[in-house]
Amino acid sequence: MPLIKPVKGISPKFGENCWFAENSTIIGDVTMGKNCTVWFNAVIRGDVNSVIIGNNSNIQDGAIIHCTYQKTKTTIGNYVSIAHNAIVHGCTIEDNVLVGMGAIIMDGAIIETGSIIAAGAIVTQNTRVPSGTIYAGNPAKLLKTVSPEASEVFMRTANNYVMYSEWFK
């Protein structure tokens, strides 16, 4: 059973048809839309500020979602995939974004709609990633624009994770 825990009297809230792995952790001021999944060993901590996640988004194995006390909340849009072992901290991720495995996104960063953060990329504090771009490296820099073919990956990946969750119910 996942660890779902209130902090300072505030409990996580979830939309319809969400699925949480048995060893996932969701704490405090977390609001999640419908059809979201939180996978094995993922942690979403809304203890020092709020975490808001839209519809059809997935937080994959080992990912950490957190925020900064009295400074930055974390907002994640619709159809967002946060891949394995990524760290998302005190930032805004708009709709239809793919955050690659092991990527780190720091406080104040804004990842605009339809973007990809490459595996292992480190998006530094207050960086703005323009819509439809791929950022890679350390520190993350513009690699190229997202091709029309690649942009189809966002919805497909998000929908696949909803399907995968059905295997565990």
Reduce the secondary structure of the chain to three states and give it as a string: CCEEECECCECCEECCCCEECCCCEEEEEEEECCCCEECCCCEEEEEEEEEEECCCCEECCCCEEECECCCECEEECCCCEECCCCEEECCEECCCCEECCCCEECCCCEECCCCEECCCCEECCCCEECCCEEEECCCCEEEEECCHHHHHHHHHHHHHHHHHHHCCC
CA distances from 18 to 7, 11, 37, 70, 146 (A): 21, 16, 6, 28, 29
Is the domain 3-166 a CATH 2.160.10.10 member?
yes
Strand partners, 116: 98, 134
Q: Residue 151 CB: number of other CB atoms within 10 A? A: 16
**CA atoms of 122 and 146, how far apart (whole Å):** 18
pLDDT at 151 exceeding the cut of 80: no
Rg of the chain taking only CA atoms, in angstroms: 15
User: What's the whole-number average pLDDT of the chain?
Assistant: 96
CB 127 within 8 A of CB 104: no
Residue (of 48, 81, 54) closest to 157 by Cα position: 81
- Please state the rounded mean pLDDT for residues 12-35: 98
Kindly state the greatest CA–CA separation across the chain: 45
Task: State residue 155's pLDDT score.
Answer: 82
Please state whether the predicted TM-score (pTM) of the whole model is above 0.75. Answer: yes
Task: State residue 114's pLDDT score.
Answer: 95
Q: Residue 8 CB: number of other CB atoms within 10 A? A: 8
pLDDT tens string 46-94: 999 999 999 999 999 999 999 999 999 999 999 999 999 999 999 999 9
